[in-house]
Structure formats: structure tokens, C-alpha cells
């Protein structure tokens, strides 16, 4: 299953591989459309397969689980978030502000699709599955990016030098993650979710910022 390390004689552009890529693309497209139409749980694998023009079992040639189909979207979205942030980022702004901006950009992208957040979290609760690792790797990546921002703040004495930037990044990330859960369950509106995130970040930054004693 899945790309799989090309066993021995790896052909660069075998006709079969090209066909496979096209199939994969069709599957992803169909999945994305159906996820949006009926939600993750409502979108049946058989339906996805039908729309992609193939049998249900064939999907498993290209994907390890249904969740993986959604997680790919998440990975893309995360890259997009970072790209947008980079584009509008001003490195000389205060660190707190930069973090706020990144989280706002990320939030705006995630808000478009409630299932994405929920299913990513769900995937995280299946320790045996590959997807779980994948999602956790995405988490790590986001935290790494936050570390980058924080570190820069530290070297220019924007942050208290005593703070552990890795722990700080973790805390920031987990605050945003946790704040999204009630939203994903429809208990709070998207903007209330964002406000909660920002309040948490501000709270944390009270302790992170350099004391101007």
C-alpha cells in the first residue's frame, strides 16, 4: 500500500505509476468534495470511491485509512498557514504580536472546515495507526515554527531569557488546540474560539515577556 519504497528497479515514469497518480488525485478530489458535502463520517468510502470512478477497495491501494484522506488536507492547510504568515510577517514586530498573527492566520484557515480539526484530533486517539503519528508530526512542526518565532524574540531580548522556548511553544500550541474543541463541537462560535485562543496567549505572554524592571 501507499507509495511504498520502490522495491528494486524503480522506473521513473512507468505508465502504471502515472495512472496511479491520476487515480490518487481523483480520490483526493472526490474525498474533499464529499467531506465538505456530508462531513467526514457522512462521506462513505464507497461513495468516495464511486465518485472517483473506482471500487471501494481500490482506494486502499493509495491510502492506508479513510482518516488519512483528511489528514492530507490538514498538512496542506498547515503549509498554507505558514506561507501566508511568512508573506505578511514583519519580523521586527513584537514577538507576542507575531504569534498572534500566526495563530489568527491558522485559525482563519481551520475555521473553514470543522471536521478537519475534529478528525485530526480523533486520529490522535489511535496510537497503533500511522495517521496518529502523522498528525503528531504536524503538531511538532507547528510547535517548531512557534519555537522559531519565540527564539527570535529571545535573542533580541523581547522575551525573558529564562523561559524554555520549547515548553512555551508547547503551551501555546496546546492552548490553541484545546480552545478549538468546544468550537469543533458547535458549542461556541468561531470568533469566540479565536478570542479564547488570544486570551490564553496573552495570559501566557504575561509570564514570557521580559520584565522591564
- Residue pair 78/138 in contact by the 8 Å Cβ criterion: yes
125/129 Cα distance (integer angstroms)? 9
Q: Give the span between the Cα atoms of 37 and 48, in whole angstroms.
A: 11
Residue closer to a second copy by CB (options 2, 185) is 185
d(CA 101, CA 86): 10
Residues of this chain that bind a second copy (CB under 8 A): 41, 114, 118-119, 121-122, 124-127, 132-133, 136, 139, 160, 163-164, 167-168, 170-171, 173-175, 177-179, 181-182, 184-187, 196, 199-200, 203-208
Rounded to the nearest whole angstrom, what is the least distance from the CB of residue 32 to a second copy in the complex?
Answer: 19
The CA-based dihedral angle spanning residues 199, 211, 165, 207, taken in that order and rounded to the nearest 10 degrees: -30
104 backbone dihedrals φ, ψ, rounded to 5°: -70, -45
Q: Is 22 exposed, middle or buried (0-12, 13-18, 19+ CB in 10 A)?
A: exposed
Torsion region of 159: left, alpha or beta (phi above 0 gives left; psi -120 to 50 gives alpha):
beta
| Residue 187 touches which of DNA, a second copy, none (Cβ within 5-8 Å per kind) | a second copy
> By CB under 7 A, is residue 9 in contact with DNA?
yes
- 127 near DNA (CB under 7 A): no
Contact 98, 149 (CB under 8 A): yes
Q: Choosing among a second copy, DNA, none, which partner's interface includes residue 19 (Cβ < 5 to 8 Å by kind)?
A: DNA
199 binds, among a second copy, DNA, none (CB under 5 to 8 A by kind): a second copy
Verify binding: residue 29, DNA, rule CB under 7 A: no
Residues 170-209 that bind DNA (CB under 7 A): none
- CB of 197 vs a second copy, minimal distance in Å: 10
Which residues contact DNA by CB under 7 A? 4, 6-9, 11, 14-17, 19-21, 23, 41, 43-46, 49, 53-58, 60-62, 65-67
Amino acid at each position: 500500500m501507499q507509495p511504498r519504497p520502490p522495491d528494486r528497479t524503480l522506473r521513473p515514469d512507468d505508465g502504471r505509476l502515472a495512472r496511479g497518480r491520476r487515480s490518487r488525485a481523483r480520490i483526493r478530489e472526490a474525498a474533499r468534495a464529499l467531506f465538505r458535502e456530508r462531513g467526514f463520517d457522512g462521506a462513505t468510502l464507497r461513495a468516495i470511491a464511486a465518485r472517483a470512478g473506482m471500487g471501494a477497495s481500490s482506494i486502499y491501494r493509495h491510502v492506508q485509512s479513510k482518516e488519512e484522506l483528511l489528514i492530507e488536507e490538514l498538512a496542506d492547510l498547515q503549509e498554507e498557514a505558514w506561507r501566508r504568515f511568512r508573506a505578511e510577517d514583519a519580523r521586527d514586530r513584537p514577538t507576542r504580536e507575531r504569534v498572534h498573527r500566526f495563530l489568527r492566520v491558522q485559525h482563519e484557515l481551520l475555521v473553514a472546515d470543522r471536521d478537519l480539526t475534529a478528525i485530526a484530533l480523533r486520529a490522535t486517539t489511535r496510537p497503533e495507526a500511522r495517521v496518529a503519528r502523522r498528525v503528531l508530526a504536524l503538531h511538532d512542526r507547528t510547535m517548531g515554527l512557534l519555537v522559531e518565532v519565540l527564539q527570535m524574540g529571545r535573542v533580541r531580548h523581547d522575551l525573558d531569557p529564562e523561559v524554555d522556548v520549547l515548553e512555551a511553544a508547547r503551551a501555546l500550541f496546546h492552548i490553541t488546540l484545546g480552545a478549538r474543541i468546544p468550537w469543533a463541537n458547535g458549542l461556541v462560535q468561531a470568533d469566540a474560539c479565536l478570542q479564547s485562543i488570544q486570551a490564553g496567549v496573552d495570559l501566557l505572554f504575561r509570564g514570557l515577556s521580559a520584565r522591564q524592571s
